[in-house]
Amino acid sequence: MARYRPGIETRQRIVDAARELLAEGGADGATVAAICQRAGIRPGSFYNLFDSKDQVVLTVVREAIEGVDPDPERAGTDTVAELLEAFIAFMENRPDLARIYIQIAVGGGSRSDHLHARVLRHHHSRVERFGAAMAREHPEMTGAEAHRRGELLVAALNGLALFTIIDPEYPFGSMARALLKE
């Protein structure tokens, strides 16, 4: 384990530097060169650990999303309302990262097979969690119906998120909560 420590520490310095730069100036200020300078490393070290700036940015976004996760151990105890509130918390507490995530999901996935696969995995994971929570809350519902409703809920949240990126004054939280009343 000791021989992997320098790589683990370098990776963490890169992620920390990217997080700081994103908070200070958004995606434009978080260039690979700026990340490397802030982390005190050379570009070769960056590219040994990450394929692109988008990959490290998605790592920062994933950590922020995990920070609001109602069931981080994936024990299957989260409710639809808790998952929805976690989505709202991410959007409202980290609008900078939410904006970047939407931009990468919409544009980055078409430029990189790796990013495309990562965004799809995240989407499928969210649908699965919403569907499983729906099934727990409504045992009379078939698995297929719970999955379908989870997919529709995630699609609606993504649409609201996209609109919020376009119009920061959009009342994302209240509109998202209204989805549970429909």
Residue where the block lists tokens 């949240």 = 157
Residue 108: its pLDDT value, please? 59
Mapped onto helix, strand or coil, the DSSP state of residue 42 is coil
Residue 110: its pLDDT value, please? 58
CATH value of 58-181 in 3.40.50, 1.10.3470, 1.10.132, 1.10.357: 1.10.357
Mean pLDDT of the chain: 89
Question: Alpha-carbon Rg of the chain, whole angstroms?
Answer: 18
* pTM of the complete model: 0.83
Q: Dihedral of the CA atoms 23, 26, 32, 37 (nearest 10)? A: -40
How does pLDDT run across 122-141, given as a tens digit for each residue? 889 999 999 999 999 999 99
Same CATH fold assignment for domains 1-50 and 58-181: no
- The residue extents of the domains of the chain are 1-50, 58-181
CATH superfamily of 1-50: Homeodomain-like (1.10.10.60)
